[in-house]
Structure 1
Protein backbone atom coordinates (compact mmCIF):
# COMPACT_ATOMS: atom_id res chain seq x y z
CA UNK A 1 0.00 0.00 0.00
CA UNK A 2 1.16 3.51 -0.81
CA UNK A 3 0.24 6.92 0.51
CA UNK A 4 1.18 9.66 -1.93
CA UNK A 5 1.19 13.29 -0.83
CA UNK A 6 1.18 15.70 -3.79
CA UNK A 7 2.67 18.96 -2.51
CA UNK A 8 2.50 20.74 -5.87
CA UNK A 9 1.99 19.92 -9.56
CA UNK A 10 4.82 21.60 -11.46
CA UNK A 11 4.68 21.71 -15.26
CA UNK A 12 7.94 20.03 -16.21
CA UNK A 13 9.79 20.10 -19.53
CA UNK A 14 11.05 16.70 -20.75
CA UNK A 15 12.30 15.80 -17.25
CA UNK A 16 15.15 13.46 -16.40
CA UNK A 17 14.73 11.43 -13.20
CA UNK A 18 17.83 10.93 -11.05
CA UNK A 19 17.40 8.37 -8.24
CA UNK A 20 19.70 8.06 -5.24
CA UNK A 21 18.67 5.93 -2.26
CA UNK A 22 20.48 4.35 0.71
CA UNK A 23 22.78 1.51 -0.31
CA UNK A 24 26.45 0.50 -0.33
CA UNK A 25 28.49 3.51 0.78
CA UNK A 26 25.28 5.56 0.47
CA UNK A 27 26.82 6.80 -2.78
CA UNK A 28 23.52 7.41 -4.57
CA UNK A 29 21.89 9.17 -1.64
CA UNK A 30 24.90 11.43 -1.10
CA UNK A 31 24.83 12.49 -4.76
CA UNK A 32 21.11 13.22 -4.92
CA UNK A 33 20.93 14.94 -1.52
CA UNK A 34 23.87 17.13 -2.53
CA UNK A 35 22.17 18.08 -5.81
CA UNK A 36 18.92 18.86 -3.99
CA UNK A 37 20.75 21.26 -1.66
CA UNK A 38 23.15 22.72 -4.22
CA UNK A 39 20.52 23.32 -6.89
CA UNK A 40 17.90 24.45 -4.35
CA UNK A 41 15.42 21.97 -5.79
CA UNK A 42 11.80 22.14 -4.66
CA UNK A 43 9.88 19.22 -3.18
CA UNK A 44 6.65 18.33 -4.98
CA UNK A 45 5.75 14.81 -3.83
CA UNK A 46 6.20 12.32 -0.97
CA UNK A 47 5.61 8.56 -0.87
CA UNK A 48 4.91 6.56 2.30
CA UNK A 49 4.43 2.82 2.11
CA UNK A 50 3.72 -0.29 4.14
CA UNK A 51 6.58 -1.86 2.17
CA UNK A 52 9.03 0.29 4.12
CA UNK A 53 10.48 -1.02 7.41
CA UNK A 54 8.10 -0.99 10.38
CA UNK A 55 10.06 1.65 12.25
CA UNK A 56 10.38 5.40 12.66
CA UNK A 57 13.40 7.70 12.82
CA UNK A 58 13.99 10.04 15.75
CA UNK A 59 14.91 13.48 14.41
CA UNK A 60 16.99 16.28 15.92
CA UNK A 61 13.86 17.76 17.50
CA UNK A 62 13.37 14.51 19.43
CA UNK A 63 10.25 13.76 17.40
CA UNK A 64 9.60 10.83 15.08
CA UNK A 65 9.50 10.67 11.27
CA UNK A 66 8.01 7.86 9.23
CA UNK A 67 10.34 6.57 6.50
CA UNK A 68 9.49 8.11 3.14
CA UNK A 69 10.69 8.89 -0.35
CA UNK A 70 10.73 12.44 -1.69
CA UNK A 71 10.58 13.90 -5.19
CA UNK A 72 12.16 17.28 -5.94
CA UNK A 73 12.31 19.26 -9.17
CA UNK A 74 14.71 21.78 -10.65
CA UNK A 75 14.04 23.78 -13.78
CA UNK A 76 16.92 23.84 -16.24
CA UNK A 77 17.40 25.60 -19.56
CA UNK A 78 16.68 22.74 -21.92
CA UNK A 79 15.44 19.90 -19.71
CA UNK A 80 14.12 19.79 -16.15
CA UNK A 81 15.32 17.48 -13.39
CA UNK A 82 13.42 15.26 -10.97
CA UNK A 83 15.52 14.20 -7.99
CA UNK A 84 14.37 11.16 -6.03
CA UNK A 85 15.75 10.67 -2.53
CA UNK A 86 14.60 8.66 0.44
CA UNK A 87 15.28 7.28 3.90
CA UNK A 88 15.06 3.57 3.02
CA UNK A 89 14.39 1.02 0.31
CA UNK A 90 11.58 -1.57 0.44
CA UNK A 91 12.51 -4.59 2.55
CA UNK A 92 10.71 -7.17 0.40
CA UNK A 93 11.08 -8.01 -3.29
CA UNK A 94 7.36 -7.58 -4.04
CA UNK A 95 7.47 -4.13 -2.48
CA UNK A 96 10.49 -3.19 -4.56
CA UNK A 97 8.70 -4.14 -7.77
CA UNK A 98 5.51 -2.34 -6.83
CA UNK A 99 7.29 0.82 -5.72
CA UNK A 100 9.40 0.94 -8.89
CA UNK A 101 6.26 0.60 -10.98
CA UNK A 102 4.56 3.33 -8.95
CA UNK A 103 7.53 5.64 -9.56
CA UNK A 104 7.40 4.86 -13.28
CA UNK A 105 3.66 5.66 -13.27
CA UNK A 106 4.42 9.06 -11.73
CA UNK A 107 7.26 9.63 -14.19
CA UNK A 108 5.04 8.80 -17.18
CA UNK A 109 2.40 11.27 -16.02
CA UNK A 110 4.92 14.13 -16.15
CA UNK A 111 6.13 12.92 -19.58
CA UNK A 112 9.56 11.94 -18.34
CA UNK A 113 12.21 11.20 -20.96
CA UNK A 114 14.99 9.23 -19.26
CA UNK A 115 16.15 7.85 -15.93
CA UNK A 116 19.53 7.82 -14.18
CA UNK A 117 20.02 5.69 -11.06
CA UNK A 118 23.05 5.97 -8.79
CA UNK A 119 24.74 3.49 -6.49
CA UNK A 120 27.91 1.90 -5.20
CA UNK A 121 30.02 -1.17 -5.96
CA UNK A 122 31.09 -2.68 -2.64
CA UNK A 123 34.78 -3.57 -2.24
CA UNK A 124 36.59 -5.27 0.63
CA UNK A 125 38.97 -2.31 1.00
CA UNK A 126 38.62 1.46 0.71
CA UNK A 127 39.46 2.40 -2.92
CA UNK A 128 41.96 5.30 -3.05
CA UNK A 129 40.73 6.37 -6.50
CA UNK A 130 37.20 5.04 -7.04
CA UNK A 131 36.22 4.11 -10.58
CA UNK A 132 32.72 4.68 -11.96
CA UNK A 133 30.99 2.04 -14.08
CA UNK A 134 27.73 2.13 -15.98
CA UNK A 135 25.15 -0.16 -17.49
CA UNK A 136 21.81 0.65 -19.11
CA UNK A 137 18.73 -0.72 -20.81
CA UNK A 138 19.90 0.41 -24.26
CA UNK A 139 23.16 1.32 -25.99
CA UNK A 140 22.19 4.83 -27.05
CA UNK A 141 21.97 6.20 -23.53
CA UNK A 142 25.39 4.72 -22.73
CA UNK A 143 26.82 6.64 -25.70
CA UNK A 144 25.15 9.82 -24.43
CA UNK A 145 26.78 9.66 -21.00
CA UNK A 146 30.11 8.10 -21.99
CA UNK A 147 33.13 10.02 -20.75
CA UNK A 148 36.78 9.22 -20.25
CA UNK A 149 36.09 8.60 -16.55
CA UNK A 150 33.09 6.32 -17.08
CA UNK A 151 33.81 2.62 -17.58
CA UNK A 152 31.30 0.79 -19.78
CA UNK A 153 32.83 -2.70 -19.46
CA UNK A 154 30.97 -3.77 -16.33
CA UNK A 155 30.30 -7.45 -17.08
CA UNK A 156 32.15 -9.54 -14.49
CA UNK A 157 32.82 -6.51 -12.27
CA UNK A 158 29.56 -6.69 -10.30
CA UNK A 159 27.04 -9.35 -9.46
CA UNK A 160 23.29 -8.74 -9.62
CA UNK A 161 22.29 -5.11 -9.11
CA UNK A 162 19.91 -5.58 -6.21
CA UNK A 163 17.29 -3.06 -5.12
CA UNK A 164 15.63 -0.12 -6.82
CA UNK A 165 18.83 1.15 -8.42
CA UNK A 166 18.89 -1.86 -10.73
CA UNK A 167 15.23 -2.80 -10.91
CA UNK A 168 14.12 0.69 -11.92
CA UNK A 169 16.16 0.65 -15.13
CA UNK A 170 15.03 -2.90 -15.89
CA UNK A 171 11.34 -2.08 -15.54
CA UNK A 172 11.83 1.20 -17.42
CA UNK A 173 12.82 -0.83 -20.48
CA UNK A 174 9.35 -2.42 -20.53
CA UNK A 175 7.87 1.08 -20.79
CA UNK A 176 10.37 2.17 -23.46
CA UNK A 177 12.06 4.68 -21.14
CA UNK A 178 15.84 4.94 -21.68
CA UNK A 179 17.61 4.40 -18.35
CA UNK A 180 21.20 4.15 -17.13
CA UNK A 181 22.85 3.43 -13.78
CA UNK A 182 26.16 4.93 -12.62
CA UNK A 183 27.97 2.88 -9.98
CA UNK A 184 31.02 4.09 -8.06
CA UNK A 185 33.47 1.85 -6.24
CA UNK A 186 33.29 2.21 -2.46
CA UNK A 187 33.98 0.33 0.77
CA UNK A 188 31.35 -2.33 1.58
CA UNK A 189 30.87 -1.49 5.24
CA UNK A 190 27.41 -0.50 6.55
CA UNK A 191 28.62 2.70 8.22
CA UNK A 192 31.08 3.82 5.52
CA UNK A 193 30.21 7.03 3.68
CA UNK A 194 31.49 6.91 0.09
CA UNK A 195 32.35 10.56 -0.43
CA UNK A 196 35.08 10.02 -3.04
CA UNK A 197 32.91 7.80 -5.20
CA UNK A 198 30.04 10.27 -4.90
CA UNK A 199 32.27 13.09 -6.12
CA UNK A 200 33.28 11.07 -9.19
CA UNK A 201 29.63 10.53 -10.13
CA UNK A 202 28.73 14.17 -9.48
CA UNK A 203 31.51 15.34 -11.78
CA UNK A 204 30.16 13.18 -14.59
CA UNK A 205 26.58 14.40 -14.10
CA UNK A 206 27.71 18.01 -13.79
CA UNK A 207 29.53 17.81 -17.11
CA UNK A 208 26.90 15.89 -19.05
CA UNK A 209 23.82 17.76 -17.76
CA UNK A 210 25.40 21.24 -17.42
CA UNK A 211 24.27 21.53 -13.81
CA UNK A 212 26.88 24.08 -12.71
CA UNK A 213 27.24 22.36 -9.36
CA UNK A 214 29.46 23.99 -6.76
CA UNK A 215 31.56 20.90 -6.11
CA UNK A 216 33.95 22.96 -3.96
CA UNK A 217 31.21 23.08 -1.35
CA UNK A 218 30.80 19.29 -1.36
CA UNK A 219 33.06 18.67 1.62
CA UNK A 220 31.24 21.31 3.65
CA UNK A 221 27.72 20.20 2.73
CA UNK A 222 28.65 16.55 3.04
CA UNK A 223 29.04 16.94 6.80
CA UNK A 224 25.32 17.64 7.17
CA UNK A 225 24.40 14.81 4.79
CA UNK A 226 26.83 12.45 6.54
CA UNK A 227 25.40 13.26 9.97
CA UNK A 228 21.87 12.53 8.78
CA UNK A 229 22.86 9.29 7.04
CA UNK A 230 24.87 8.02 10.02
CA UNK A 231 22.02 8.77 12.40
CA UNK A 232 19.51 6.85 10.30
CA UNK A 233 21.98 4.04 9.62
CA UNK A 234 22.54 3.55 13.35
CA UNK A 235 18.80 3.53 14.04
CA UNK A 236 18.25 1.07 11.21
CA UNK A 237 21.11 -1.33 12.06
CA UNK A 238 19.02 -3.52 14.36
CA UNK A 239 16.38 -3.90 11.68
CA UNK A 240 18.91 -4.86 9.02
CA UNK A 241 20.52 -7.51 11.23
CA UNK A 242 17.32 -9.51 10.93
CA UNK A 243 18.07 -10.04 7.24
CA UNK A 244 20.13 -13.19 6.98
CA UNK A 245 20.43 -13.18 3.22
CA UNK A 246 23.85 -13.74 1.64
CA UNK A 247 25.76 -10.57 0.80
CA UNK A 248 26.39 -9.69 -2.84
CA UNK A 249 29.03 -7.58 -4.53
CA UNK A 250 26.55 -4.79 -5.09
CA UNK A 251 23.38 -3.67 -3.37
CA UNK A 252 21.36 -0.80 -4.83
Structure 2
Protein backbone atom coordinates (compact mmCIF):
# COMPACT_ATOMS: atom_id res chain seq x y z
CA UNK A 1 0.00 0.00 0.00
CA UNK A 2 1.28 3.45 -0.90
CA UNK A 3 1.98 5.57 2.16
CA UNK A 4 4.35 8.05 3.75
CA UNK A 5 5.19 7.03 7.32
CA UNK A 6 6.22 10.07 9.36
CA UNK A 7 8.78 9.05 12.00
CA UNK A 8 9.26 12.24 14.00
CA UNK A 9 7.42 15.46 14.77
CA UNK A 10 8.93 18.29 12.73
CA UNK A 11 6.98 21.53 12.28
CA UNK A 12 7.06 22.58 8.63
CA UNK A 13 5.11 25.45 7.07
CA UNK A 14 5.24 25.40 3.26
CA UNK A 15 8.46 23.46 2.75
CA UNK A 16 10.50 23.19 -0.42
CA UNK A 17 11.60 19.66 -1.23
CA UNK A 18 14.71 18.75 -3.24
CA UNK A 19 14.33 15.45 -5.08
CA UNK A 20 17.34 13.13 -5.21
CA UNK A 21 16.46 10.12 -7.36
CA UNK A 22 19.44 8.52 -9.13
CA UNK A 23 19.69 9.72 -12.72
CA UNK A 24 22.21 10.73 -15.37
CA UNK A 25 25.36 12.05 -13.70
CA UNK A 26 23.69 11.34 -10.33
CA UNK A 27 23.18 15.11 -10.17
CA UNK A 28 20.05 15.06 -8.00
CA UNK A 29 21.32 12.19 -5.87
CA UNK A 30 24.59 13.96 -5.03
CA UNK A 31 22.83 17.28 -4.36
CA UNK A 32 20.28 15.63 -2.05
CA UNK A 33 22.88 13.60 -0.16
CA UNK A 34 24.98 16.73 0.30
CA UNK A 35 22.07 18.70 1.77
CA UNK A 36 21.27 15.93 4.25
CA UNK A 37 24.90 15.74 5.39
CA UNK A 38 25.72 19.46 5.34
CA UNK A 39 22.67 20.44 7.41
CA UNK A 40 22.50 17.31 9.59
CA UNK A 41 18.89 16.85 8.50
CA UNK A 42 16.46 14.70 10.48
CA UNK A 43 15.19 11.38 9.11
CA UNK A 44 11.61 12.55 8.86
CA UNK A 45 9.62 9.89 6.99
CA UNK A 46 9.82 6.59 5.14
CA UNK A 47 8.39 6.29 1.64
CA UNK A 48 6.43 3.12 0.89
CA UNK A 49 5.17 2.82 -2.69
CA UNK A 50 4.17 -0.32 -4.55
CA UNK A 51 6.57 0.63 -7.33
CA UNK A 52 9.70 0.70 -5.18
CA UNK A 53 12.04 -2.31 -5.04
CA UNK A 54 11.49 -4.51 -2.00
CA UNK A 55 14.83 -3.85 -0.36
CA UNK A 56 16.34 -2.62 2.89
CA UNK A 57 19.16 -0.09 3.21
CA UNK A 58 21.67 0.29 6.02
CA UNK A 59 24.25 2.89 6.95
CA UNK A 60 27.69 2.97 8.57
CA UNK A 61 28.02 2.44 12.34
CA UNK A 62 24.36 1.50 12.69
CA UNK A 63 22.79 -1.96 12.87
CA UNK A 64 19.36 -0.64 11.98
CA UNK A 65 17.85 -0.98 8.52
CA UNK A 66 15.78 1.61 6.69
CA UNK A 67 13.69 2.02 3.58
CA UNK A 68 15.67 2.76 0.39
CA UNK A 69 13.65 5.96 -0.23
CA UNK A 70 13.33 8.42 2.65
CA UNK A 71 12.41 11.99 3.48
CA UNK A 72 14.71 14.22 5.55
CA UNK A 73 13.65 17.50 7.14
CA UNK A 74 15.20 20.70 8.44
CA UNK A 75 12.65 22.62 10.48
CA UNK A 76 14.65 25.86 10.73
CA UNK A 77 15.14 26.07 6.97
CA UNK A 78 11.65 24.71 6.12
CA UNK A 79 13.40 22.22 3.85
CA UNK A 80 12.74 18.62 2.83
CA UNK A 81 14.97 16.25 0.87
CA UNK A 82 13.91 13.07 -0.91
CA UNK A 83 16.87 10.70 -0.60
CA UNK A 84 16.95 7.49 -2.61
CA UNK A 85 19.45 4.63 -2.56
CA UNK A 86 17.83 2.88 -5.55
CA UNK A 87 16.67 3.80 -9.06
CA UNK A 88 12.92 3.66 -9.61
CA UNK A 89 12.08 1.11 -12.35
CA UNK A 90 10.65 2.77 -15.49
CA UNK A 91 7.48 0.64 -15.43
CA UNK A 92 6.79 1.96 -11.94
CA UNK A 93 7.56 5.65 -12.47
CA UNK A 94 3.94 6.74 -12.88
CA UNK A 95 2.75 4.91 -9.75
CA UNK A 96 5.64 6.35 -7.78
CA UNK A 97 4.80 9.86 -9.01
CA UNK A 98 1.17 9.46 -7.93
CA UNK A 99 2.21 8.04 -4.57
CA UNK A 100 4.65 10.77 -3.59
CA UNK A 101 3.14 13.79 -5.36
CA UNK A 102 -0.29 13.37 -3.77
CA UNK A 103 1.39 13.65 -0.37
CA UNK A 104 3.19 16.79 -1.57
CA UNK A 105 -0.17 18.39 -2.30
CA UNK A 106 -1.67 17.37 1.05
CA UNK A 107 1.29 18.80 2.97
CA UNK A 108 1.72 21.99 0.83
CA UNK A 109 5.16 20.87 -0.32
CA UNK A 110 6.78 22.61 -3.29
CA UNK A 111 8.96 19.97 -4.99
CA UNK A 112 12.15 20.85 -6.84
CA UNK A 113 12.93 18.05 -9.28
CA UNK A 114 16.47 17.63 -10.60
CA UNK A 115 17.61 16.13 -13.91
CA UNK A 116 20.98 15.85 -15.62
CA UNK A 117 21.33 16.92 -19.26
CA UNK A 118 24.12 15.33 -21.29
CA UNK A 119 26.41 18.10 -22.45
CA UNK A 120 26.79 18.25 -26.20
CA UNK A 121 30.31 19.51 -26.81
CA UNK A 122 33.33 20.96 -25.02
CA UNK A 123 33.53 24.74 -24.66
CA UNK A 124 36.56 26.89 -25.23
CA UNK A 125 38.73 28.31 -22.46
CA UNK A 126 41.12 27.02 -19.84
CA UNK A 127 40.33 23.66 -18.28
CA UNK A 128 38.80 25.25 -15.20
CA UNK A 129 36.82 27.86 -17.12
CA UNK A 130 35.51 25.29 -19.59
CA UNK A 131 34.55 22.96 -16.77
CA UNK A 132 32.44 25.65 -15.10
CA UNK A 133 30.80 26.85 -18.34
CA UNK A 134 29.68 23.33 -19.20
CA UNK A 135 27.66 23.02 -16.04
CA UNK A 136 24.80 25.35 -16.85
CA UNK A 137 21.51 25.15 -14.98
CA UNK A 138 18.08 26.20 -16.22
CA UNK A 139 14.60 26.02 -14.71
CA UNK A 140 11.24 24.66 -15.89
CA UNK A 141 7.97 24.56 -13.98
CA UNK A 142 4.31 23.64 -13.61
CA UNK A 143 1.53 25.41 -11.73
CA UNK A 144 2.87 28.42 -9.88
CA UNK A 145 6.44 27.13 -10.19
CA UNK A 146 7.16 29.61 -12.99
CA UNK A 147 6.43 32.51 -10.63
CA UNK A 148 8.88 31.02 -8.12
CA UNK A 149 11.58 30.87 -10.80
CA UNK A 150 10.78 34.39 -11.99
CA UNK A 151 11.82 35.67 -8.55
CA UNK A 152 15.29 34.22 -9.09
CA UNK A 153 17.94 34.50 -11.75
CA UNK A 154 17.57 30.87 -12.85
CA UNK A 155 17.45 31.12 -16.67
CA UNK A 156 14.89 29.62 -19.03
CA UNK A 157 15.94 26.75 -21.32
CA UNK A 158 17.65 27.90 -24.50
CA UNK A 159 16.55 24.83 -26.48
CA UNK A 160 13.66 22.36 -26.72
CA UNK A 161 13.97 19.17 -24.72
CA UNK A 162 12.28 16.42 -22.74
CA UNK A 163 12.73 15.01 -19.23
CA UNK A 164 12.27 11.23 -18.99
CA UNK A 165 12.54 8.55 -16.31
CA UNK A 166 11.09 8.91 -12.80
CA UNK A 167 11.76 12.66 -12.65
CA UNK A 168 9.96 13.06 -15.98
CA UNK A 169 7.01 11.11 -14.54
CA UNK A 170 6.96 13.38 -11.49
CA UNK A 171 6.95 16.49 -13.69
CA UNK A 172 4.28 14.96 -15.94
CA UNK A 173 2.09 14.22 -12.91
CA UNK A 174 2.58 17.77 -11.65
CA UNK A 175 1.47 19.12 -15.04
CA UNK A 176 -1.56 16.79 -15.21
CA UNK A 177 -2.73 17.71 -11.70
CA UNK A 178 -1.74 21.40 -11.76
CA UNK A 179 0.68 20.85 -8.89
CA UNK A 180 3.17 23.65 -8.29
CA UNK A 181 6.59 22.19 -9.06
CA UNK A 182 10.00 23.34 -10.26
CA UNK A 183 12.46 21.41 -12.39
CA UNK A 184 16.19 22.17 -12.38
CA UNK A 185 18.12 20.81 -15.34
CA UNK A 186 21.94 20.82 -15.30
CA UNK A 187 24.48 20.05 -17.98
CA UNK A 188 26.52 17.09 -16.76
CA UNK A 189 28.91 14.30 -17.63
CA UNK A 190 26.67 11.28 -18.39
CA UNK A 191 29.45 8.72 -17.94
CA UNK A 192 30.45 9.48 -14.34
CA UNK A 193 28.97 10.93 -11.15
CA UNK A 194 29.17 14.71 -11.54
CA UNK A 195 29.49 16.50 -8.18
CA UNK A 196 30.32 19.80 -9.88
CA UNK A 197 26.98 19.69 -11.74
CA UNK A 198 25.33 19.00 -8.36
CA UNK A 199 27.13 22.02 -6.91
CA UNK A 200 25.82 24.17 -9.76
CA UNK A 201 22.26 22.99 -9.04
CA UNK A 202 22.63 23.85 -5.35
CA UNK A 203 24.27 27.25 -5.88
CA UNK A 204 22.35 28.44 -8.94
CA UNK A 205 18.98 26.78 -8.32
CA UNK A 206 18.27 25.48 -4.83
CA UNK A 207 19.85 28.39 -2.94
CA UNK A 208 17.93 31.20 -4.70
CA UNK A 209 14.65 29.23 -4.69
CA UNK A 210 14.78 28.40 -0.97
CA UNK A 211 16.67 31.46 0.26
CA UNK A 212 19.00 29.05 2.06
CA UNK A 213 22.76 29.54 1.93
CA UNK A 214 24.04 26.11 0.89
CA UNK A 215 27.73 25.36 1.64
CA UNK A 216 29.23 23.62 -1.39
CA UNK A 217 33.02 23.82 -0.93
CA UNK A 218 33.16 20.12 -0.04
CA UNK A 219 31.61 19.16 -3.36
CA UNK A 220 34.55 20.71 -5.22
CA UNK A 221 37.26 19.73 -2.76
CA UNK A 222 36.14 16.11 -2.59
CA UNK A 223 34.87 15.69 -6.15
CA UNK A 224 37.18 12.75 -6.84
CA UNK A 225 36.20 10.91 -3.67
CA UNK A 226 32.52 11.51 -4.32
CA UNK A 227 32.86 10.19 -7.87
CA UNK A 228 34.51 6.99 -6.65
CA UNK A 229 31.94 6.50 -3.91
CA UNK A 230 29.03 6.89 -6.31
CA UNK A 231 30.52 5.05 -9.31
CA UNK A 232 28.80 1.72 -8.64
CA UNK A 233 25.37 3.35 -8.55
CA UNK A 234 26.22 5.41 -11.64
CA UNK A 235 27.21 2.20 -13.46
CA UNK A 236 23.87 0.65 -12.54
CA UNK A 237 22.05 3.70 -13.87
CA UNK A 238 24.00 3.56 -17.15
CA UNK A 239 23.36 -0.15 -17.58
CA UNK A 240 19.65 0.37 -17.04
CA UNK A 241 19.49 3.59 -19.05
CA UNK A 242 15.71 3.71 -19.35
CA UNK A 243 15.45 3.64 -15.54
CA UNK A 244 17.29 6.89 -15.10
CA UNK A 245 15.97 10.39 -14.89
CA UNK A 246 17.51 12.50 -17.60
CA UNK A 247 16.87 15.50 -19.79
CA UNK A 248 17.46 15.36 -23.53
CA UNK A 249 17.54 18.04 -26.18
CA UNK A 250 15.05 17.77 -29.04
CA UNK A 251 16.18 18.69 -32.54
CA UNK A 252 13.75 19.58 -35.30
CA UNK A 253 16.32 18.80 -37.99
CA UNK A 254 19.09 16.29 -37.52
For residues 212-251 of structure 1, what are the structure 2 equivalents within 5 Å?
Answer: 212-220=213-221, 225-234=226-235, 236=236, 240=240, 249=248
1:105–1:218 Cα change, 3 Å: same
SS at match of 2:197: helix
Structure 1 gap segments, 5+ residues each: none
Distance change (3 Å), C-alpha of 1:24 and 1:211: same
Matches within 5 A, 1:1-12: 2=2, 5-12=5-12
Structure 1 pair 108–54 and aligned structure 2 pair: CA distance change class (3 A): closer
Of 170, 175, 178, the match for 1:176: 178
Name the SS of the counterpart of 2:27 in structure 1.
Answer: helix
Q: Aligned to 1:84, which of 69, 82, 88? A: 82
RMSD of the TM alignment (CA)? 3.5
Look up the SS of the partner of 1:249 in the other structure.
strand
Structure 2 matches for 1:143-222, cutoff 5 A? 143-146=147-150, 147-148=152-153, 150-156=154-160, 158=161, 160-189=162-191, 192-204=192-204, 205-220=206-221
Q: State the SS of the aligned residue for 2:102.
A: helix
C-alpha distance 223-4 of structure 1, shift in aligned 2 (>3 A)? farther
**Structure 1 pair 154–13 and aligned structure 2 pair: CA distance change class (3 A):** same
- 1:13 aligns to what? 13
8 A contact 1:166–1:181 mirrored in 2: no
Of 90, 95, 98, which residue of structure 1 is paired with 2:95? Answer: 98
Distance 1:52-1:144 versus aligned 2 partners, 3 A rule? closer
Can you list the C-alpha shifts for 1:62-106, whole angstroms capped at 9, x where unaligned?
x997872110111236xx11110102232133x111111111232
The 3 A distance-change label for structure 1 pair 96 and 176 is same
Task: Give the TM-score, by structure 1 length.
Answer: 0.76
TM-score normalized by the length of structure 2: 0.76
Is 1:39–2:54 an aligned residue pair? no
> Residues 68 and 86 of structure 1 are in contact (CA less than 8 Å); yes or no, is this contact kept in structure 2?
yes
